[in-house]
Amino acid sequence: MKVLISLGKSFYETFPDLGSWLRREGIEVVEQTGYDQEPPRELMRELVKDVDVYVVGVDRIDREILEAASALKLIVKHGVGVDNIDLDCAKEKGIAVTFARGCNAQSVAELAIALMLSVCRGIPWQSTEVRQGAWNLYMGCELNKKTLGLIGYGNIGSRVAKIAKAFGMEVIAFDPYIGKEALQEAGIRPGTMEEVLRQADFVSLHAPAAKENQKLIDQKALTHMKPTAYLINTARGELVDEEALQKALREGKLRGAALDVFWREPPDTRLTGLAGTVCTPHLGACTIDSARKLSEMSFENIMNFKKHQPLKNRLV
């Protein structure tokens, strides 16, 4: 059996054990770790042509790649979001697909809270000014007694809520797949999406990048938000209409935004260069702890596949 591991250079250098674990099991391993973003398509077409298992991070696995992967039987997503994988084509070709449910949830949740604190206290630009010799005090706000609005209350959103409540925040959430009773039992106030946007001091996005969610936060949605509110996105860039967000920030209709994900990565500097923005390079899962859990899940599923045992978190 031959396994291709194609993960971000920085991510895999931090925790490279997956390849070693597989080799100890007598499995042939090819590692593509030369790029932090998607590697060249020509390289990937060459690497996938004779592998049985493809462990993938951010690579775009579309029909072109799947047509080149004549021996492929299993795709193991080394993460949660599978919007970079053509699931319909994989199903058509009889290729199983798994993902690492929950493995990076804590890391992303903690980043969401860190971004809230960073943007509302002006930490990034205050740090830059101090390093440059300036001493200008930025008047921010506390999280305590503020309202956090969650769009999505799954593995990550629920963890964000738990941390936020420890800060003394009130939490209101919208999730069409979670019943009101379940939210109320967790001490969360259920609301419609419009109610969440209107009432929240911080709106944090935790919805999947499904087609129906593209530009979920558009110009209309942004007009519902308080001019003193902050938008936090650690989910997917496609959830936000970036042109509308730029306009809202420029016109002072939103106090700030903290973004870890973008439509195009690296992103458009017209957005990242605006005052009141904190931007990070899609590092929600980038902790040693998350990398270990993701590798353990990937290894377990590859071994299950080798032993003809049921796969965990199978999508196709």
- What does 241-296 look like in DSSP terms, one character per residue? -HHHHHHHHHTTSSSEEEES--SSSS--HHHHTSTTEEE--S-TT-SHHHHHHHHH
CA-CA distance, 27 to 47, in Å (whole number)?
16
Exposure string over 1-39, b if 16+ CB within 10 A, otherwise e: bebbbbbbeebbeebeebbebbeeeebebebbbebbeeb
| Residues 132 and 163 both lie in one domain | yes
What one-character DSSP code corresponds to residue 237?
Answer: G
> Which residues does 198 contact at the CB level (< 8 Å), separation at least 6?
224, 225, 226
- Do 114 and 144 belong to one domain? yes
Question: Per-residue confidence of the chain (316 residues) as pLDDT tens digits?
Answer: 999 999 988 888 889 999 999 999 999 999 998 888 889 999 999 999 999 999 999 899 999 999 999 999 999 999 998 999 999 999 999 999 999 999 999 999 999 999 999 999 999 999 999 999 999 999 999 999 999 999 999 999 999 999 999 999 999 999 999 999 999 999 999 999 999 999 999 999 999 988 899 999 999 999 999 999 999 999 999 999 999 999 999 999 999 999 999 999 999 899 999 999 999 999 999 999 999 999 999 999 999 999 999 999 999 9
Q: What local confidence, expressed as pLDDT, does residue 37 receive?
A: 83
- For residue 82, the enclosing domain spans 2-103+287-306
Closest to 48 measured CA to CA, from 102, 90, 105, 100: 90
* 316, part of any domain: no
Residue 315 within any structural domain of the chain: no
Residues 98 and 246 in one domain: no
The answer as to whether 314 is a domain residue is no
Give yes or no: residues 275 and 291 share one domain: no
313 is a domain residue: no
Residue 187 lies in a domain: yes
- Domain with 295 in it: what CATH number? 3.40.50.720
**Whether 42 and 138 share a structural domain:** no
φ and ψ at residue 256, rounded to 5 degrees: -175, 175
This prediction's pTM: 0.93
Q: Are 115 and 262 within one domain?
A: yes
Q: Which two tokens stand for residue 135?
A: 């001493």
> Do 172 and 152 meet the contact criterion of CB atoms below 8 Å apart?
no
Q: How many domains does the chain have?
A: 2
Same domain for 64 and 113: no
In a domain, 312, yes or no: no
- 93 - beta bridge partners? none
Report if residue 311 sits inside a domain: no
Whole-number Å distance between alpha carbons of 59 and 56 = 6
Residue 44 belongs to a domain: yes
**What stretch of H or E contains 309?**
none
SS3 at position 105: helix
160 and 192: one domain? yes
Alpha-carbon distance 172 to 179, whole Å? 13
On whether both 61 and 73 belong to a single domain, the answer is: yes
Residues 177 and 271 in one domain: yes
Residues 196 and 48 in one domain: no
**Active site members:** 236, 265, 282
Are 75 and 157 in a shared domain? no
